[in-house]
A and B are shown apart, each in its own frame.
Chain A
Amino acid sequence: MSLISIFLIFFFYVSALIFISGLSYKLIQYRRTPAPLKIPIAPSALDKKGVLLRYFREIFLFASLFKANKWTWLFGWSFHLALVLLFFRHLVYFWPGEVPLILYKTESLKYAAYPLIFGLLGLLARRVFVDRIRYISAPSDYLMLLVFIFIALTGMMMTFANYHPNILMVKNFASGLITFKWSELPGEIIFVFHILPVFCIIAIFPLSKLLHAPGVFFAPTFNQVDNARKKRHLSDWASKKEDNLEINLESKNLKDK
């Protein structure tokens, strides 16, 4: 096997390891950290059903972002939606052995690449041209968009331009990563340029702002039910303050009614 194949296979497992361990660590940390107070943000959900509804609106429609800024919403929403569609489009490559019929029908999802690049370029343009957003952007914020754009462009070149890699070798390589039956990369270098940055993204996921994806589910502002008066909400560390049941504040003379 070629050196570059070995390197990429190795790099994939390192990335996957960082992703799984890092993300597990973060998820456990988020889960274990108590939320001592009820802080849902308006429009608050008065019951659990309301919380689910709120998450539906936030996750699938980016409702808060829509309220905030229509351009950012348009770019951000197209980008994320396209990302999900393209994930399904790529399953066919990773699927080991016999591929379910439904995955062959995802062919047309490849056109999601256009909203993907549209969204990414829009987000980048906002970051560059809107003074407020330029102010809050660190180098990593630009870099991350550029990496995604690079992945999108190489992917589009392989799909829509005349840079098609050997599809059978792609399939063997990708599914081999899942089944540990490693095989050679296709010869076309553009494929390497496509997957190397993807592995990078996988690796930095738990170390970067990409944590907004799991983070949104742990935001007490979103996930709490607004029922503080009806049900006592108490964290472990706060309940320890009540070990002494008496209130030792000064006393007072009071008149009877």
Chain B
Amino acid sequence: MSTDNQIKLPTYVETPSIRKDSMAGDGPFKASVEIQNKLGFPGEKVENWQQVAINKMAETKSKYKSVQVFLDSCMKCGACTDKCHYFLGTADPKNMPVARQDLFRSVYRRHFTFAGKYFPRLVGAKDFDEDMLNDWYNYFHQCSQCRRCAVFCPSGIDTAEISMAAREVMNVIGVGQKYTNQILGKVKKIGNNLGMPEPALKDTLMDLEEEIKEDTGVDVKLPIDIKNSEILMVSPSADFFAEPHIDGLIGYAKVFHESGVSWTLSSYASEAANFGMFIGNYDVMREGALRIRKAALDLNVKRVIIGECGHAWRVAYSFWNTLSGIGTGAEDEYAMRLQNQLDSQYPQPQHMIEFTYDLIKNNKLTFEKSNNDHRVVTFHDSCNVARGSNMGDIENGQFILPREVIKAACNNFIDMPKNTIKSSTFCCGGGAGLLTDDLIDLRIKGAKPRMHALRKSEQESGVNTLAAICAICKSQFSKVLPNYDFDPYMVVSVHQLVSDAIVLSESLKQKD
């Protein structure tokens, strides 16, 4: 554990006094020409970038009601100013959600409003110059689009929408972020964020099957590319190789095995996460969704289920029916082609948590809960699941279902402090394209509010396990926990808890 840069946590989350420019800089690494071109963006900053950017802003606000309305309707009340984990962790005033939006809004006012054109000083309108662009790039990459600020805004303004629009404008003028755009290129070419080719993927799954067999003595399969399966499972590719994610994948496999329903992964669509959302680009996001649509059609499955991945679930739950017609209730030919194939008795798509929860409610799963007795578990509500989706189609289902699944598998469950969970949950600090080493300072600082809540629960209730349902949360926590003097291995998938406690009926028979 690194002790030299450990951060002392105060006894309560303080709202810091602002420290101007404390996070000023040039932002994360920029995408190369090659990376940009793969996505159809200019490789380098275009010559008349200012004009191109203004035109793109005009286009974006004419296509997105959110952007147009949110730019006008902020009354600068300050309700959001102390809600962003990056502000709480860095004290840089440009990390206050309203100030972040104002980077965009001040340019909007200058170029698109009467007051900004004729009285720029009065209303804080600013030209789009080099300094402003630099601030855009730097501070729109200090936003994880977690939408916590939007929960508190009396006008319903969602900074994530502005942040996405800003990244889209920057990509169009040739200023893209390396991490996100490189990954999008890999998905486009290979089908997953890691760029993991099909043979490697298949090898991994075979190894996992052997591992489960050794552990349990049961032939739990991890099928891939099997046509006419009942279920297509799409999980974040981190589930195939990263710790602790991989134990979650084993958990899904065990649950599917016990359910007796046939399922398959797809080597063509081996990624649930959709980074297209991070850059606010409808076409890139749609292309990601279309891969999964194609896999569902080719494999002729009846259901589509998503693994533990926060942004994936928001895109799948909220956007897929729009983007690619994976859902129900369509009246157009395009979507009906797929929806006639899918089983309309089930919500489409479904979250793995929903699937497991249904089995638990119907007493189809048996747990040896004491297997998890060494753990005192708390649950981190991943931002995009908590604020941009639902589960079970019941009010607050996205908070209830994961907790119920955990409680079914564990005896000791404790929630973290109330203002840090559910719809007020703090982001892990690594979402929306920030999970990259060149932003590690920001990631550590941004995790502070969550770490603080965790410390409180550790001290008061002895919490020693942090369960999450998002690949980014799990990676981010594993990385930053040591900076706050926590054990990095305390992070687990919810389905790892399930996996550790689930009783495989065949192993019982073997014992008999």
A contact residues vs B (CB 8 Å cutoff):
26, 29-30, 33-39, 41-44, 46, 58, 62, 64-65, 67-69, 72, 76, 123, 126-127, 130-133, 135-141, 143, 204, 207-212, 214-216, 218-222, 226, 228-235, 237-239, 241-242, 245, 247, 249, 251-257
B228 touches A256 (CB 8 A): yes
What separation, in Å, do the CA atoms of A247 and B337 have in the docked complex? Answer: 12
Residues of chain B within 8 A (CB-CB) of A232 are: 321-322, 325, 327, 329-332, 335
B74 touches A30 (CB 8 A): no
Residues of chain B within 8 A (CB-CB) of A29 are: 68
Q: Which residue of A lies closest to B156 (CB)?
A: A219
* B17 interfacial contact with A, CB 8 Å: yes
What separation, in Å, do the CA atoms of A136 and B123 have in the docked complex? Answer: 11
Residues of chain B within 8 A (CB-CB) of A132 are: 15, 18, 78, 81-82, 93, 96
* B489 interfacial contact with A, CB 8 Å: no
Residues of chain A within 8 A (CB-CB) of B152 are: 64-65, 67-69
B contact residues vs A (CB 8 Å cutoff):
15, 17-18, 61-66, 68-70, 72-83, 93, 96, 98-99, 102, 113-115, 119, 121-124, 147, 150-158, 161, 225-229, 262, 267-268, 282-283, 286, 290-291, 293-295, 297-299, 317-322, 325, 327-335, 337, 347-349, 386-388, 390, 393-396, 398, 422-424
A127 CB, nearest partner CB in chain B, Å: 8
4 other A-B residue contacts (CB within 8 Å) besides A218-B69, A254-B225: A30-B69, A43-B395, A253-B225, A256-B226
A126 CB, nearest partner CB in chain B, Å: 7
Across the interface, B327 reaches (CB within 8 A) one of A44, A131, A204, A228, namely A228
28 A-B pairs with CB atoms under 8 Å apart are: A26-B72, A33-B61, A34-B64, A36-B64, A39-B66, A41-B150, A69-B78, A76-B77, A123-B77, A132-B15, A132-B96, A133-B76, A135-B99, A136-B76, A140-B123, A204-B115, A215-B73, A216-B73, A219-B155, A221-B158, A230-B328, A232-B330, A234-B322, A234-B332, A239-B332, A249-B290, A249-B294, A255-B226
Residues of chain A within 8 A (CB-CB) of B299 are: 254
A136 touches B78 (CB 8 A): yes
B390 touches A212 (CB 8 A): no
Residues of chain A within 8 A (CB-CB) of B119 are: 140
Q: Which residue of A lies closest to B335 (CB)?
A: A232
B396 touches A247 (CB 8 A): no
Across the interface, B121 reaches (CB within 8 A) one of A44, A139, A242, A256, namely A139
Top 7 A-B residue pairs of the complex, sorted by shortest distance between their CB atoms: A215-B73, A138-B124, A219-B156, A68-B152, A68-B79, A133-B78, A132-B81
What separation, in Å, do the CA atoms of A231 and B335 have in the docked complex? Answer: 11
B263 CB, nearest partner CB in chain A, Å: 10
Residues of chain A within 8 A (CB-CB) of B317 are: 228-229
A37 touches B318 (CB 8 A): yes
Q: Which residue of A lies closest to B295 (CB)?
A: A252
B332 touches A242 (CB 8 A): yes
Residues of chain B within 8 A (CB-CB) of A36 are: 63-64, 282, 322
B328 touches A229 (CB 8 A): yes
What separation, in Å, do the CA atoms of A36 and B395 have in the docked complex? Answer: 24
Residues of chain B within 8 A (CB-CB) of A204 are: 115
Residues of chain A within 8 A (CB-CB) of B79 are: 64-65, 68-69, 72
B293 touches A231 (CB 8 A): no
A200 CB, nearest partner CB in chain B, Å: 13
Residues of chain A within 8 A (CB-CB) of B74 are: 209, 212
A45 CB, nearest partner CB in chain B, Å: 9
Residues of chain B within 8 A (CB-CB) of A234 are: 322, 332
What separation, in Å, do the CA atoms of A171 and B74 have in the docked complex? Answer: 36
A136 touches B81 (CB 8 A): yes
Q: Which residue of B lies closest to A66 (CB)?
A: B154
B122 CB, nearest partner CB in chain A, Å: 5
With A132-B93, A209-B74, A221-B150 as given contacts, are A33 and B65 in contact (CB-CB < 8 Å)?
A: yes
B225 touches A252 (CB 8 A): yes
What separation, in Å, do the CA atoms of A44 and B398 have in the docked complex? Answer: 11
Residues of chain B within 8 A (CB-CB) of A37 are: 318-319, 322
Q: Which residue of B lies closest to A220 (CB)?
A: B66
Residues of chain B within 8 A (CB-CB) of A228 are: 317-322, 327
Across the interface, A141 reaches (CB within 8 A) one of B76, B283, B349, namely B76
What separation, in Å, do the CA atoms of A162 and B328 have in the docked complex? Answer: 69
What separation, in Å, do the CA atoms of A182 and B179 have in the docked complex? Answer: 67
Across the interface, A72 reaches (CB within 8 A) one of B77, B319, B394, namely B77
B64 touches A68 (CB 8 A): no
A219 touches B66 (CB 8 A): yes
B227 touches A230 (CB 8 A): no
Residues of chain B within 8 A (CB-CB) of A226 are: 390
